[in-house]
Structure 1
Amino acid sequence: MDKTTHDKGLDIRKAVLGEAYVENALKTADDFNKPFQDHVTEYCWGAIWGREDLPRKTRSMLNLAMIAVLNRPHELRAHLKGALTNGVTRDEIREIFMQVACYAGMPAGVDSFRIAREVFAELDKT
Protein backbone atom coordinates (compact mmCIF):
# COMPACT_ATOMS: atom_id res chain seq x y z
CA MET A 1 0.00 0.00 0.00
CA ASP A 2 1.24 3.47 -0.88
CA LYS A 3 0.74 5.51 2.29
CA THR A 4 0.79 8.88 0.51
CA THR A 5 -1.94 7.83 -1.95
CA HIS A 6 -3.92 6.18 0.86
CA ASP A 7 -3.75 9.30 3.05
CA LYS A 8 -4.74 11.52 0.12
CA GLY A 9 -7.64 9.15 -0.59
CA LEU A 10 -8.74 9.21 3.04
CA ASP A 11 -8.85 13.01 3.00
CA ILE A 12 -10.87 13.07 -0.25
CA ARG A 13 -13.19 10.28 0.90
CA LYS A 14 -13.98 12.16 4.11
CA ALA A 15 -14.46 15.45 2.25
CA VAL A 16 -16.94 13.92 -0.20
CA LEU A 17 -18.83 11.35 1.89
CA GLY A 18 -18.48 12.99 5.28
CA GLU A 19 -16.14 12.17 8.13
CA ALA A 20 -18.79 10.30 10.15
CA TYR A 21 -19.67 8.01 7.22
CA VAL A 22 -16.04 7.15 6.52
CA GLU A 23 -15.08 6.77 10.17
CA ASN A 24 -17.98 4.33 10.62
CA ALA A 25 -16.87 2.29 7.60
CA LEU A 26 -13.33 2.11 8.95
CA LYS A 27 -14.36 1.53 12.57
CA THR A 28 -16.57 -1.41 11.64
CA ALA A 29 -13.93 -2.99 9.40
CA ASP A 30 -12.73 -6.40 10.53
CA ASP A 31 -10.01 -8.81 9.44
CA PHE A 32 -12.16 -9.86 6.49
CA ASN A 33 -12.94 -6.48 4.93
CA LYS A 34 -10.15 -4.19 6.23
CA PRO A 35 -7.95 -4.94 3.19
CA PHE A 36 -10.91 -3.98 0.98
CA GLN A 37 -11.44 -0.70 2.88
CA ASP A 38 -7.74 0.08 2.44
CA HIS A 39 -7.99 -0.71 -1.28
CA VAL A 40 -11.07 1.49 -1.74
CA THR A 41 -9.40 4.36 0.10
CA GLU A 42 -6.09 4.11 -1.74
CA TYR A 43 -7.24 3.21 -5.24
CA CYS A 44 -10.71 4.71 -5.71
CA TRP A 45 -10.30 7.81 -3.56
CA GLY A 46 -6.56 8.43 -3.73
CA ALA A 47 -5.45 7.24 -7.16
CA ILE A 48 -8.65 8.03 -9.10
CA TRP A 49 -10.55 10.78 -7.23
CA GLY A 50 -7.17 12.31 -6.44
CA ARG A 51 -6.40 12.97 -10.10
CA GLU A 52 -6.52 16.61 -11.13
CA ASP A 53 -8.03 16.23 -14.63
CA LEU A 54 -11.70 16.23 -13.56
CA PRO A 55 -13.24 18.35 -10.83
CA ARG A 56 -14.98 16.56 -7.97
CA LYS A 57 -18.36 17.83 -9.15
CA THR A 58 -17.90 16.10 -12.51
CA ARG A 59 -16.70 12.90 -10.85
CA SER A 60 -19.79 12.96 -8.62
CA MET A 61 -22.08 13.40 -11.62
CA LEU A 62 -20.44 10.46 -13.39
CA ASN A 63 -20.69 8.33 -10.26
CA LEU A 64 -24.39 9.05 -9.86
CA ALA A 65 -25.07 7.87 -13.40
CA MET A 66 -22.90 4.78 -13.17
CA ILE A 67 -24.09 3.72 -9.73
CA ALA A 68 -27.73 4.23 -10.76
CA VAL A 69 -27.21 2.06 -13.84
CA LEU A 70 -25.49 -0.61 -11.74
CA ASN A 71 -28.45 -0.64 -9.31
CA ARG A 72 -26.44 -0.10 -6.15
CA PRO A 73 -28.89 1.72 -3.84
CA HIS A 74 -26.64 1.89 -0.76
CA GLU A 75 -23.80 3.46 -2.74
CA LEU A 76 -26.25 5.72 -4.57
CA ARG A 77 -27.47 7.14 -1.26
CA ALA A 78 -23.91 7.85 -0.13
CA HIS A 79 -22.91 9.39 -3.44
CA LEU A 80 -26.05 11.54 -3.65
CA LYS A 81 -24.98 13.20 -0.42
CA GLY A 82 -21.42 13.44 -1.70
CA ALA A 83 -22.60 14.97 -4.97
CA LEU A 84 -24.49 17.67 -3.10
CA THR A 85 -21.34 18.33 -1.05
CA ASN A 86 -19.40 18.64 -4.32
CA GLY A 87 -21.79 21.26 -5.67
CA VAL A 88 -24.13 19.15 -7.80
CA THR A 89 -27.58 20.70 -7.57
CA ARG A 90 -30.85 18.85 -7.18
CA ASP A 91 -31.81 20.07 -10.65
CA GLU A 92 -28.63 18.58 -12.07
CA ILE A 93 -29.30 15.32 -10.22
CA ARG A 94 -32.77 15.24 -11.78
CA GLU A 95 -31.24 15.64 -15.24
CA ILE A 96 -28.66 12.94 -14.58
CA PHE A 97 -31.44 10.52 -13.65
CA MET A 98 -33.49 11.54 -16.68
CA GLN A 99 -30.46 10.56 -18.78
CA VAL A 100 -30.14 7.30 -16.84
CA ALA A 101 -33.80 6.47 -17.52
CA CYS A 102 -33.37 7.17 -21.21
CA TYR A 103 -30.23 5.15 -21.75
CA ALA A 104 -30.37 2.49 -19.01
CA GLY A 105 -34.11 1.96 -18.76
CA MET A 106 -37.06 3.29 -16.86
CA PRO A 107 -36.65 0.93 -13.87
CA ALA A 108 -33.20 2.39 -13.22
CA GLY A 109 -34.67 5.87 -13.49
CA VAL A 110 -37.60 5.06 -11.21
CA ASP A 111 -35.33 3.67 -8.49
CA SER A 112 -32.88 6.55 -8.81
CA PHE A 113 -35.59 9.18 -8.45
CA ARG A 114 -37.13 7.33 -5.50
CA ILE A 115 -33.81 7.06 -3.68
CA ALA A 116 -32.93 10.69 -4.40
CA ARG A 117 -36.27 11.87 -3.02
CA GLU A 118 -35.70 9.83 0.15
CA VAL A 119 -32.20 11.28 0.57
CA PHE A 120 -33.47 14.81 -0.04
CA ALA A 121 -36.24 14.32 2.53
CA GLU A 122 -33.72 13.09 5.10
CA LEU A 123 -31.46 16.06 4.44
CA ASP A 124 -34.35 18.53 4.57
CA LYS A 125 -35.23 17.33 8.09
CA THR A 126 -31.85 18.37 9.44
Structure 2
Amino acid sequence: MPDSKETFEAGMKVRREMFGAAGADDQIANATDFTRDMQDMVTRYCFGETWNRPPFDRRMRSILTIAMLVGLNRPNQLRVHIRGAIANGVHEDEIREILMHAMIYVGVPASVDSFMHAAEALKEVGRG
Protein backbone atom coordinates (compact mmCIF):
# COMPACT_ATOMS: atom_id res chain seq x y z
CA MET A 1 0.00 0.00 0.00
CA PRO A 2 1.48 3.36 -0.99
CA ASP A 3 2.23 5.92 1.69
CA SER A 4 0.72 9.40 1.85
CA LYS A 5 3.56 11.02 -0.13
CA GLU A 6 3.35 8.40 -2.92
CA THR A 7 -0.43 8.76 -3.08
CA PHE A 8 -0.11 12.55 -3.20
CA GLU A 9 2.41 12.34 -6.07
CA ALA A 10 0.19 9.87 -7.94
CA GLY A 11 -2.70 12.31 -7.48
CA MET A 12 -0.66 15.24 -8.74
CA LYS A 13 0.31 13.22 -11.81
CA VAL A 14 -3.37 12.62 -12.62
CA ARG A 15 -4.29 16.25 -11.94
CA ARG A 16 -1.46 17.50 -14.17
CA GLU A 17 -2.38 15.16 -17.00
CA MET A 18 -6.06 16.12 -16.81
CA PHE A 19 -5.88 19.84 -16.06
CA GLY A 20 -2.36 20.78 -17.12
CA ALA A 21 0.61 21.47 -14.88
CA ALA A 22 -0.47 25.03 -14.17
CA GLY A 23 -4.04 24.03 -13.31
CA ALA A 24 -2.94 21.29 -10.94
CA ASP A 25 0.04 23.03 -9.38
CA ASP A 26 -1.88 26.30 -8.96
CA GLN A 27 -4.47 24.54 -6.82
CA ILE A 28 -1.73 23.49 -4.40
CA ALA A 29 0.30 26.70 -4.61
CA ASN A 30 -2.77 28.87 -4.02
CA ALA A 31 -4.05 26.82 -1.09
CA THR A 32 -4.50 28.82 2.07
CA ASP A 33 -4.29 27.67 5.67
CA PHE A 34 -8.05 27.17 5.40
CA THR A 35 -8.02 25.14 2.10
CA ARG A 36 -4.66 23.33 2.32
CA ASP A 37 -5.99 20.19 4.04
CA MET A 38 -8.86 19.98 1.55
CA GLN A 39 -6.47 20.23 -1.42
CA ASP A 40 -4.26 17.55 0.12
CA MET A 41 -7.24 15.24 0.63
CA VAL A 42 -8.60 15.86 -2.88
CA THR A 43 -5.16 15.15 -4.35
CA ARG A 44 -4.57 11.98 -2.34
CA TYR A 45 -8.00 10.38 -2.11
CA CYS A 46 -9.79 11.66 -5.17
CA PHE A 47 -7.01 11.71 -7.75
CA GLY A 48 -4.29 9.57 -6.12
CA GLU A 49 -6.51 6.68 -5.10
CA THR A 50 -9.92 6.80 -6.77
CA TRP A 51 -8.86 7.94 -10.24
CA ASN A 52 -6.17 5.22 -10.30
CA ARG A 53 -8.35 2.28 -9.22
CA PRO A 54 -9.08 -0.59 -11.57
CA PRO A 55 -11.12 -1.57 -13.49
CA PHE A 56 -12.12 1.86 -14.83
CA ASP A 57 -9.73 3.93 -16.87
CA ARG A 58 -9.68 7.72 -16.73
CA ARG A 59 -11.95 8.04 -19.75
CA MET A 60 -14.70 6.03 -18.02
CA ARG A 61 -14.18 7.92 -14.76
CA SER A 62 -14.57 11.21 -16.64
CA ILE A 63 -17.85 10.00 -18.14
CA LEU A 64 -19.14 8.98 -14.70
CA THR A 65 -17.94 12.21 -13.11
CA ILE A 66 -19.68 14.39 -15.69
CA ALA A 67 -22.97 12.55 -15.19
CA MET A 68 -22.73 12.85 -11.40
CA LEU A 69 -21.85 16.54 -11.52
CA VAL A 70 -24.89 17.19 -13.72
CA GLY A 71 -27.06 15.36 -11.19
CA LEU A 72 -25.56 17.37 -8.34
CA ASN A 73 -25.92 20.65 -10.28
CA ARG A 74 -22.27 21.63 -9.80
CA PRO A 75 -21.50 23.87 -12.81
CA ASN A 76 -18.04 25.02 -11.69
CA GLN A 77 -16.81 21.48 -11.19
CA LEU A 78 -18.57 20.42 -14.40
CA ARG A 79 -16.57 22.96 -16.42
CA VAL A 80 -13.32 21.74 -14.84
CA HIS A 81 -14.16 18.10 -15.50
CA ILE A 82 -15.29 18.72 -19.08
CA ARG A 83 -11.76 19.98 -19.76
CA GLY A 84 -10.34 16.95 -17.92
CA ALA A 85 -12.59 14.62 -19.91
CA ILE A 86 -11.24 15.98 -23.19
CA ALA A 87 -7.71 15.32 -21.89
CA ASN A 88 -8.85 11.79 -20.98
CA GLY A 89 -10.08 11.06 -24.52
CA VAL A 90 -13.82 11.75 -24.17
CA HIS A 91 -15.12 13.27 -27.42
CA GLU A 92 -17.43 16.26 -27.72
CA ASP A 93 -20.24 14.11 -29.16
CA GLU A 94 -19.91 11.75 -26.19
CA ILE A 95 -20.13 14.68 -23.76
CA ARG A 96 -23.31 15.81 -25.53
CA GLU A 97 -24.80 12.31 -25.12
CA ILE A 98 -23.84 12.17 -21.44
CA LEU A 99 -25.68 15.47 -20.95
CA MET A 100 -28.69 14.27 -22.98
CA HIS A 101 -28.85 11.04 -20.95
CA ALA A 102 -28.48 12.93 -17.67
CA MET A 103 -31.22 15.36 -18.72
CA ILE A 104 -33.69 12.49 -18.77
CA TYR A 105 -32.45 10.50 -15.79
CA VAL A 106 -31.71 13.42 -13.50
CA GLY A 107 -34.94 15.25 -14.34
CA VAL A 108 -37.60 12.59 -14.92
CA PRO A 109 -36.91 10.38 -11.86
CA ALA A 110 -36.92 13.42 -9.56
CA SER A 111 -40.21 14.53 -11.09
CA VAL A 112 -41.79 11.06 -10.79
CA ASP A 113 -40.74 10.84 -7.12
CA SER A 114 -42.08 14.35 -6.51
CA PHE A 115 -45.45 13.43 -8.00
CA MET A 116 -45.61 10.32 -5.79
CA HIS A 117 -44.74 12.30 -2.64
CA ALA A 118 -47.17 15.06 -3.56
CA ALA A 119 -49.98 12.52 -4.15
CA GLU A 120 -49.29 10.96 -0.73
CA ALA A 121 -49.32 14.37 0.98
CA LEU A 122 -52.55 15.35 -0.79
CA LYS A 123 -54.13 12.07 0.26
CA GLU A 124 -53.08 12.71 3.87
CA VAL A 125 -54.94 16.05 3.89
CA GLY A 126 -58.02 14.63 2.16
CA ARG A 127 -57.28 16.00 -1.30
CA GLY A 128 -56.38 14.35 -4.59
Shift of 1:52: 2.9
Rg larger in 1 or in 2? 2
Shift of 1:27: 1.5
Q: What's the RMSD between the two structures over aligned residues?
A: 1.3
Identity value in percent: 42
Task: Return the alpha-carbon distance in structure 1 between the equivalents of residues 86 and 102 of structure 2.
Answer: 18
Report the counterpart of residue 77 of structure 2 in structure 1.
75
> 2:29 is matched with which residue: 16, 27, 33?
27
Shift of 1:24: 1.7
Task: Return the alpha-carbon distance in structure 1 between the equivalents of residues 59 and 97 of structure 2.
Answer: 14
Report the counterpart of residue 6 of structure 1 in structure 2.
8
Structure 2 counterpart of 1:4, one-letter code: E
1:10-48 deviation per Cα after TM superposition (whole angstroms, max 9, x unaligned): 101111122111122112101111010000000000110
1:47-96 deviation per Cα after TM superposition (whole angstroms, max 9, x unaligned): 10011311110000000000111111111011000001111001000100
> 2:57 is matched with which residue: 55, 75, 78?
55
Task: Return the alpha-carbon distance in structure 1 between the equivalents of residues 61 and 89 of structure 2.
Answer: 11
TM-score normalised by length of structure 1: 0.80
Aligned length: 106
Task: Return the alpha-carbon distance in structure 2 between the equivalents of residues 79 and 100 of structure 1.
Answer: 15
Task: Return the alpha-carbon distance in structure 2 between the equivalents of residues 90 and 69 of structure 1.
Answer: 19
Report the counterpart of residue 89 of structure 1 in structure 2.
91
Task: Return the alpha-carbon distance in structure 1 between the equivalents of residues 58 and 52 of structure 2.
Answer: 9
Task: Return the alpha-carbon distance in structure 2 between the equivalents of residues 80 and 22 of structure 1.
Answer: 15
